[in-house]
């Protein structure tokens, strides 16, 4: 079993930045591809970004490419999502996922989410 925990969410003004962090424990972190998703109220969960085991390959949704950057530090068992130029429509519950089933959008293990609110 893998435990996934997100952190770093909060309230930020439009145009601002946040960096989300995600740790995955229980198995060897470096063996897992990792992904980021979000879900806004009344909407379906949306894929944002994914990164392979050692960070060689990444994938992004069109809606965030150029504004969001996914990275990982395997020594710290942590994956990051750097979010810049945030917009009110980025407001959502952000989820981290581990263990790719189908690259890049299907994952086995999920965290509980961290809330990001962008004020206008």
How distant, in Å, are the alpha carbons of 6, 11, 54, 57, 80 from that of 17?
Answer: 17, 10, 25, 23, 13
**pLDDT at residue 26 greater than cutoff 80:** no
Residue 46 is predicted with a pLDDT of: 97
How distant, in Å, are the alpha carbons of 7, 36, 49, 82, 102 from that of 15?
Answer: 20, 20, 20, 13, 33
Residue 54 is predicted with a pLDDT of: 87
pLDDT tens digit sequence for 66-108:
999 999 999 999 999 999 999 999 999 999 999 988 889 899 9
DSSP secondary structure of 23-50? EEESS-GGG--EEEEEE-TTS--EEEEE
Residue with tokens 């379906």, as numbered in its chain? 44
pLDDT tier at 55, thresholds 50, 70, 90: confident
Residue 50 is predicted with a pLDDT of: 97
**pLDDT at residue 63 greater than cutoff 80:** yes
Query: How many Cβ atoms from other residues are within 10 Å of residue 117's Cβ?
Result: 15
Residue 27 is predicted with a pLDDT of: 76
How distant, in Å, are the alpha carbons of 27, 36, 54, 99, 114 from that of 94?
Answer: 22, 7, 22, 17, 5
């Amino acid at each position: 079993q893998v435990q996934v925990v997100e952190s770093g969410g909060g309230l930020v003004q439009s145009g601002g930045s946040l960096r989300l962090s995600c740790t995955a424990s229980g198995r060897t972190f470096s063996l897992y591809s990792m992904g980021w998703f979000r879900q806004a109220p009344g909407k379906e969960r949306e894929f944002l970004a994914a990164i392979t085991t050692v960070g060689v390959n990444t994938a992004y949704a069109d809606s965030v490419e150029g504004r969001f950057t996914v990275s990982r530090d395997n020594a710290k068992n942590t994956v990051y999502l750097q979010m810049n130029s945030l917009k009110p429509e980025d407001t959502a519950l952000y989820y981290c996922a581990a263990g790719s089933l189908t690259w890049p959008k299907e994952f086995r293990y999920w965290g509980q989410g961290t809330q990001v609110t962008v004020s206008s």
